Amino acid sequence: MLSQVGIDRVINTAHRLGITAPLSRNLSLALGTSEVTLVELVAAYNALAGGGLWVEPWGIEEIKDQSGIVLFKAKPERSAVLTPETAYIITDMLKSVITDGTGRKAQVLGRPLAGKTGTTDDFRNALFIGFSPELTAGVWVGYDSNHTLGRGATGAETALPAWIAFMEQALRDKPVSDFQRPAGVVMVPMDRVTGQPAQAGSSNAVEAAFRVGDESGD
- Residue 40: is it exposed, middle or buried by C-beta count within 10 angstroms (0-12/13-18/19+)? middle
pLDDT tens readout for residues 58-71: 999 999 999 999 99
Residue 27 CB contacts under 8 Å (≥ 6 apart), including other chains: 2, 3, 7
| The pLDDT value given to residue 199 | 84
Residue 218 scores a pLDDT above 80: no
Is the whole model's pTM more than 0.85, yes or no? yes
CA angle in degrees (0–180, nearest 5) for 34-37-42: 115
Q: Is the dihedral of CA 25, 28, 8, 80 positive or negative?
A: negative
Query: Percentage of residues in the chain with pLDDT exceeding 90?
Result: 88
Give the burial string for 170-193 (b: 16+ CB within 10 Å, else e): ebeeeeeeebebbeebeebebeee
Identify the band that residue 217 occupies on the pLDDT scale cut at 50, 70 and 90.
Answer: low
First vs last Cα of the chain: how many Å apart?
A: 18
Domains of the chain, by residue range, sit at 37-58+72-179, 183-218
Provide the CATH topology of domain 37-58+72-179.
Beta-lactamase (3.40.710)
| The pLDDT value given to residue 141 | 97
Q: What is the 3-state secondary structure (H, E, C) of 157-194?
A: HHHHHHHHHHHHHHCCCCCCCCCCCCCCEEEEEEECCC
Q: What is the mean pLDDT of residues 84-89?
A: 97
Q: What is the mean pLDDT of residues 14-20?
A: 96
Identify the band that residue 139 occupies on the pLDDT scale cut at 50, 70 and 90.
Answer: very high
Q: Quote the distance between the C-alpha of residue 25 and its chain's center.
A: 22
